[in-house]
Structure formats: C-alpha cells, structure tokens
C-alpha cells in the first residue's frame, strides 16, 4: 500500500513540475539520503541547492523533515543551509561584534570596511 501511495504522490508531483522526472529516487528516499549524511549525524551543517530541494523532494516534504528533527535552516542566494542541531541560530554582524575581534589580526578594519 505504501508503495502505491509513494508512486501516486511521485506522479502527482511530476505532473506539477515539482520533481525531476529523470531522478531514480522518490522524494522520501532523497530526503532520507540528505539527512543520513555524516554531518547530520555529527550535528553540523549541510548545504543544498534550493532548486534541488524543489526538484527532488518539494519544499513541504523537506521543511517537514527539518521541523520533525527540530533543526533550523536559512536560504541565501539559491542555497539552503540546514543547521543539524537544536541550538539557536544567531545572526552576526560586524557592528554587533566590533573591532575588538580583530585585535588578534593586528588590524582595526572589519571585513567590509576600508
């Protein structure tokens, strides 16, 4: 029964243009492969192209897996970075950290200042 459901779901997504029709993996298999990476198991980060997520799994399935695991993700420039742990994600900026972080490098200039 589950096989029939997966087949039907895959065909529906293919018809909607959501999946790569040449992919040998169904959406669930692709998501399992992504989240079985060593970096995931070690609580590190993984990165995938947003286009691939949409093509091979669909956003709903991918985001559901992130939520199920309690992970967080960000999207930037066509890339998605998944933080494979439950720690908070805190954006940082030069203004927040200040020039004191550059003492060890013998400079008072931040990465985007001259």
Q: Is 81 or 23 the better-scoring residue by pLDDT? A: 81
Instruction: Let me know if residue 70 belongs to a domain.
Output: yes
Instruction: Let me know if residue 21 belongs to a domain.
Output: yes
pLDDT digits (tens, 9 = 90+) for 71-93: 999 999 999 999 999 999 998 88
Instruction: Let me know if residue 59 belongs to a domain.
Output: yes
Instruction: Let me know if residue 16 belongs to a domain.
Output: yes
Here the tokens at position 34 are: 């992504």
Residue 73 CA: distances (Å) to CA of 23, 34, 46, 90, 91:
24, 14, 9, 12, 12
Instruction: Let me know if residue 17 belongs to a domain.
Output: yes
Domain that holds residue 8: 2-105
Average pLDDT over residues 28-49: 97
Residue 102, pLDDT score: 56
pLDDT band at residue 19, thresholds of 50, 70 and 90? low
Given a cut of 80, is residue 8 above it in pLDDT? no
Instruction: Let me know if residue 85 belongs to a domain.
Output: yes
Q: Is 74 or 7 the better-scoring residue by pLDDT? A: 74
Q: How far apart are CA 33 and CA 16, in angstroms?
A: 23
Q: Is 26 or 100 the better-scoring residue by pLDDT? A: 26
Percent of the chain with pLDDT over 70: 62
Instruction: Let me know if residue 111 belongs to a domain.
Output: no
Average pLDDT over residues 16-29: 66
What stretch of H or E contains 67?
helix 59-69
Instruction: Let me know if residue 41 belongs to a domain.
Output: yes
Minimum mean pLDDT among 22-26, 45-49, 79-83: which range?
Answer: 22-26
Count of the separate structural domains present in the chain? 1
Percent of the chain with pLDDT over 90: 55
């Amino acid at each position: 029964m589950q096989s029939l459901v997966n087949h039907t779901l895959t065909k529906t997504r293919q018809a909607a243009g959501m999946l790569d029709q040449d992919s040998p993996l169904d959406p669930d298999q692709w998501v399992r492969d992504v989240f079985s990476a060593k970096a995931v198991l070690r609580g590190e980060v993984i990165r995938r192209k947003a286009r691939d997520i949409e093509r091979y799994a669909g956003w709903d399935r991918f985001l559901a897996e992130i939520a199920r695991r309690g992970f967080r993700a960000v999207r930037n420039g066509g890339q998605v970075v998944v933080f494979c742990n439950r720690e908070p994600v805190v954006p940082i900026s030069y203004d927040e950290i200040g020039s004191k972080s550059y003492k060890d490098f013998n400079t008072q200039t931040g990465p985007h200042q001259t």
